[in-house]
Amino acid sequence: MKRLQGNQAVRALRKIIGLTQGEFAVMIGVSKDAVASWETGRNKLSATFARRIALVTGVDARTLRLGVSVPISQDADAHVYTKEDFERHQRTEWSGTEEAQAERLARCQDTLELLFRAAARVGGDPPRQRLPGLMDSFMQWCEQAREDFKLGPAVDEQLGKRRFRAGMTQGYRDWRAMARGNPEGLKAAGFEDDPSKGDREPLRLELELVPGWAPGRSMKPPRPAVMLVRPEAGDRRL
């Protein structure tokens, strides 16, 4: 079996940028082993990942796949790639302003909405129920992207900004029964039994909660319930 020649351009690109194999892997969403396999020649760089590297760095994807000794810039003059090329590409193509980032996110949201609306369409010839399969594909992609790009801590940080308070009111008898089954949990919720309180006396406990990571389900804080009260006859208050 003929061994593939190592991709010198990938190795050179990574060193020009100043990243370890692990750091480079996180940036493009692959494993460290995948980067090592390209550099040693164990695996050939695919067109898909060459395109992704080009999108992230501004290097020329075609010459990157050829494995030439030096990476080439995708600029019109096609010069030898430098760290300045990387910094300029990141700054002009991906950093930008908050408005530009928001516009990119809006485009992605629009794309997802179009896909899901198309899959949820009723009818067709022949009729097909494609929404469940698309949902599963989407959830798997979310999990994989979170892992590949090492986004877990950053996602948890974002979810932490969605803290909300949730509470329940019930009699002391019920709280005491729950405390017998889960004393630590009730203690964390702030329950302290007061022997002077009767079983039926109400007590409200509240906890500060954070939505959990759950692709395909809502991760936004629940909306508080709103009670509409009809004014009594003759009551003109609004």
DSSP letter (8 states) at residue 195:
T
The pLDDT of residue 86? 94
User: Which residues are bridge partners to 148 per DSSP?
Assistant: none
Instruction: Give the residue among 26, 23, 14, 21 at the shortest CA–CA distance from 149.
Output: 26
Location of each CATH 1.10.260 domain in the chain: 8-95
Tens-digit pLDDT string for the chain (238 aa): 334 467 899 999 999 999 999 999 999 999 999 999 999 999 999 999 999 999 999 999 998 988 788 899 988 888 999 999 999 998 888 876 788 888 889 999 999 999 998 888 876 666 678 889 999 999 999 999 999 999 999 999 999 999 998 888 999 999 999 999 989 888 888 899 999 999 999 999 888 889 999 999 999 988 765 444 444 444 443 3
The answer to whether residues 53 and 59 touch, using CB atoms and an 8 Å cutoff, is yes
Can you name the CATH fold of 8-95?
A: 434 Repressor (Amino-terminal Domain) (1.10.260)
d(CA 94, CA 88): 10
pTM for this entry:
0.75
